[in-house]
Amino acid sequence: MNAIKSTWNYAVITGASSGIGYEFAKQLAALGTNLLLISRKRKELMNIKFEFETKYGVVVDFLDVDLNTHDSYQKIEEYITANDLKPDLLINNAGIGAFGEFLNTEIDKELEIIAVNINSLVFLTKTFLRLMLSNNSGTILNVSSTMAFRKSRYWAVYSSTKSFVLSFSRNLSLEYENSDVIISVLCPGKTQSSFDSNAKVNLNYNTTKASSSKVVAYTLSQLMKKKTLIIPGLNNKIKYYIFKYLPEFITNSIIRGI
């Protein structure tokens, strides 16, 4: 068991079966945090439960639900209530994308992206924020992207959902700044995961991808410091300020060259 004690007793993580979500679960389990893991992939969740309970001695619960449906959000809320759980960390990590020119992408897929990336996140944020405020303690981390800083070609819907996540989280952070709940947003750049293959990216960006373990370790260290905007990596921080302060005609030229 890691010598550092976790800040949190019980964490709920969406999109927890792979990528950044899995890494959050792993590092939190190593710190002694009990977990409720949410994903569509039941087999992977069962394997993670066995692995983490055996290795780290924590309690790992899971729900295999599809966050594309409103019923799934309610199932999560009902599970928390029925088991009298008191989560003090929510990580809204689940996210999907589709790459391609807008008129060539499927509308059903884009509506699914909005449902998973926005609808489920808003519902769960409201549900868990209410619980955390009643318990006078908690942290909510919403996972956005560096795409939220700028325009993006071939990612019209996905990029827009991540812009929403960033704005939504920043607004709530201000709204509840005098409460005992921290609302934070993570904006990672390209990170090692299956996201690009799932989104059917067919261009070679020649972009170095950050290690998910390093992204998560940095994020947890910033959450422990109660940071509300977390941008891992110097290059990503530079991008944030470039797109925030440079004139649009310059940033448009930069985007065209990506």
Q: What is the pLDDT along the chain (258 residues), one digit of tens a residue?
A: 444 567 899 999 999 999 999 999 999 999 999 999 999 999 999 999 999 999 999 999 999 999 999 999 999 999 999 999 999 999 999 999 999 999 999 999 999 999 999 999 999 999 999 999 999 999 999 999 999 988 888 999 999 999 999 999 999 999 999 999 999 999 998 876 555 555 556 555 556 778 899 999 999 999 999 999 999 999 888 887 777 767 775 666 666 666
Question: What b/e string do you get for 106-129 counting C-beta neighbours within 10 Å, with b at 16 or more?
Answer: eeeebebbbbbbbbbbebbbebbb
pLDDT on residue 241: 79
CA distance 10 to 83: 13
pLDDT on residue 197: 55
Is 1 within 8 Å of 30 (Cβ atoms)? yes
CA distance 128 to 138: 9
Is 27 within 8 Å of 43 (Cβ atoms)? no
- Domain 10-256 CATH assignment equals 3.40.50.720: yes
pLDDT on residue 45: 97
CA distance 71 to 128: 16
pLDDT on residue 153: 87
pLDDT on residue 2: 47
* E strand map for the chain: 10-14, 34-39, 60-64, 89-92, 138-143, 181-186, 229-230
- Give me the active site residues, please: 158
